[in-house]
Amino acid sequence: MSKGIGEALIRPMKNALDDMPVHVRQLAEMFRKHGNVHKRNSSDITDLDATDVPSPLQNGWKPDTWTPKDVDRAGKGGRPDPGDYLDADYVKNHLDQFNDGATRIYKTESLDNYGPGNNNTTYVFPTDQLNNLMEQANSPAELAEALGLPDGFFEGADIQLRDFGPDELDGLRMPDGNEGGTDENKWIPGGYLPSGIPEAVIDIPETATGMNNGGYNPSFWPGSPRPLNL
């Protein structure tokens, strides 16, 4: 496997952080630890001064508010609204990346059993950026790592994409880390995966259920299915 994805996604985000405020350095350290050691627990995060952080976040984090570490450690169910610590322009620019639509990757078995939502929400990626990432991936394992998915996620499973058009992005917003499906060991405030892929959250109708939680009727599901070819 080549270094293509790592270099294409992470190298452009590297910036000198010596003069950055401590909350940005904390976030940078979170990206480094989550990105380099995916199974490291968030309690291991420390306040080191140097490493990577998506450049918009360098100026997008409000001063004198929650620190990235405080947001992370608040835990699922207790984390604040991203508007409490992220600048409004940053949030708008981030969500503008989804103007052409969004996509979610599903295991078909889970989708059929529970529908496209998790507690009526789901994480999504910008469709165009996910397509570019899939074109760059040299293997399913490389794609899974870039998307923060578990090791072996694509092995032996029937996988499909679901594309949501711009008019189907109900409630499009920054993730706050309290959503169903949030991975406590990998989630980072700011709307990015450790690999630099932007993510957001949308609302899924209560009627979008599966065989195990209310009945299987894909006609109630937002989005359009698309096979995943790796």
- Per-residue pLDDT tens for 130-180? 999 999 888 888 898 888 888 888 888 899 999 999 999 999 999 999 999
- Kindly list the distances between the CA atom of residue 31 and the CA atoms of 6, 106, 128, 199, 210, in Å, as whole numbers in the listed order: 13, 25, 23, 14, 35
- Per-residue pLDDT tens for 51-80? 456 667 777 888 888 888 899 889 999 999
Share of the chain above pLDDT 90, in %: 51
At 69, which amino acid appears? K
Structural domain harbouring 154: 4-227
**pLDDT at site 16:** 39
**pLDDT at site 159:** 93
- Per-residue pLDDT tens for 91-136? 999 999 999 999 999 999 999 999 999 999 999 999 999 999 999 8
SS3 state at 185: coil
Q: Stretch 85-92: mean pLDDT, rounded?
A: 95
User: Given a cut of 60, is residue 3 above it in pLDDT?
Assistant: no
Q: Which residues of 101-133 are buried (b: 16+ CB within 10 A; e: fewer)?
A: bbbbbbeeeebeebbbbeebbbbbbbbebbeeb
Q: Where are the beta strands (DSSP E) in the chain?
A: 102-107, 121-126, 159-164, 200-203, 224-227
Q: Name which of 50, 21, 51 is nearest 35 in CA terms.
A: 51
User: Residue 40 and residue 38: Cα distance in Å, rounded?
Assistant: 6
Q: Stretch 200-221: mean pLDDT, rounded?
A: 96
- Kindly list the distances between the CA atom of residue 197 and the CA atoms of 134, 174, 186, in Å, as whole numbers in the listed order: 12, 13, 13
Q: Name which of 50, 42, 1 is nearest 25 in CA terms.
A: 50
User: Given a cut of 80, is residue 224 above it in pLDDT?
Assistant: yes
User: Given a cut of 70, is residue 32 above it in pLDDT?
Assistant: no
User: Given a cut of 80, is residue 22 above it in pLDDT?
Assistant: no
User: Residue 214 and residue 199: Cα distance in Å, rounded?
Assistant: 28
Phi first, then psi: give them for residue 125, nearest 5 degrees.
-115, 155
SS3 state at 151: coil
Q: What is the pTM of this model?
A: 0.81
**pLDDT at site 149:** 85
If one counts the domains in the chain, the total is 1
CA dihedral 97, 91, 77, 53 (to 10 degrees): 80
Is 118:179 a contact under the CB 8 Å cutoff? Answer: yes
Residue with the bigger pLDDT between 19 and 101: it is 101
User: Residue 192 and residue 147: Cα distance in Å, rounded?
Assistant: 10
Instruction: Report strand pairing: 102-107 vs 200-203.
Output: unpaired
Q: Would you place residue 7 in the very low, low, confident or very high pLDDT band (cuts 50, 70, 90)? A: low
**pLDDT at site 35:** 55
Q: In the beta sheet, which residues pair with residue 161?
A: 105, 226
**pLDDT at site 10:** 45
**pLDDT at site 30:** 66
Q: Would you place residue 43 in the very low, low, confident or very high pLDDT band (cuts 50, 70, 90)? A: very low
